[in-house]
Amino acid sequence: MSENKAASRYAKSIIDLSIENNALESLKNDMVLVEQVIDQNPELEAILKNPIVPQDKKIGILEGLFAGKVDKITISFMKLMVNKGRSALLFGASKEVIAQYNSIKGIVTADVTSATPLTESSRAEIIAIVKKEIGANEVLIKEKINANLIGGFVLKVGDKQFDASISNGLNKLKKEFAQGVV
């Protein structure tokens, strides 16, 4: 079984358990913290992935980092993953929990790459368009700046992409000229 599939199954199980215990919101917040801590500490990720490090040491490290900061369900989940020899999947499982939570709540992430920073009005307009077209309850925008776009923006939501950049328009014109269409 691929790591992504296994992480997804672990995420689904912890989400189901947290829904039964009315702890979905705290689980999401816990997993955001777990993801951030592992992402910012490559040494921790290396320890979790290393099969030579004893399981009790891994559990001790995780308890030391997260005890009192996350719900008991989250701590139990991390211990279970370590005891099952799946500690290497903890980072992927935390990301998958967040993705599944967002799916349950109707939250989508829109990646917007623009030549200059977005204004508040353009940000609000993009959010309104995405909500209308996708039917999302909430839209989170991740902004990136790429001066090579010259102007305009590129919007990605899931597997869909809309390219309204000037450089894309220029490339289309270039191809049309090369094909003798114009």
pLDDT in tens, the chain (182 residues): 577 899 999 999 999 999 999 999 999 999 999 999 999 999 999 999 999 999 999 999 999 999 999 999 999 999 999 999 999 999 999 999 999 999 999 999 889 888 888 889 888 888 888 888 888 889 889 999 988 877 778 888 888 888 777 777 677 777 877 787 55
Q: Are 114 and 153 in contact (CB under 8 A)?
A: yes
Instruction: Determine contact, residues 95/55, Cβ cutoff 8 Å.
Output: no
Q: Which residues does 167 contact at the CB level (< 8 Å), separation at least 6?
A: 148, 149, 150, 152
Nearest Cα to Cα of residue 123 among 140, 99, 145, 148:
140
Residues of the chain with CATH 1.10.520.20: 3-103
Task: Quote the pTM value.
Answer: 0.77
Contact yes or no for 108/52 (Cβ under 8 A)? no
Class of domain 3-103: mainly alpha
- How far is it, in rounded angstroms, from Cα 153 to Cα 166? 8
Of residues 39, 41, 8, 11, the one with CA closest to residue 27: 11
State which amino acid sits at residue 14.
Answer: I
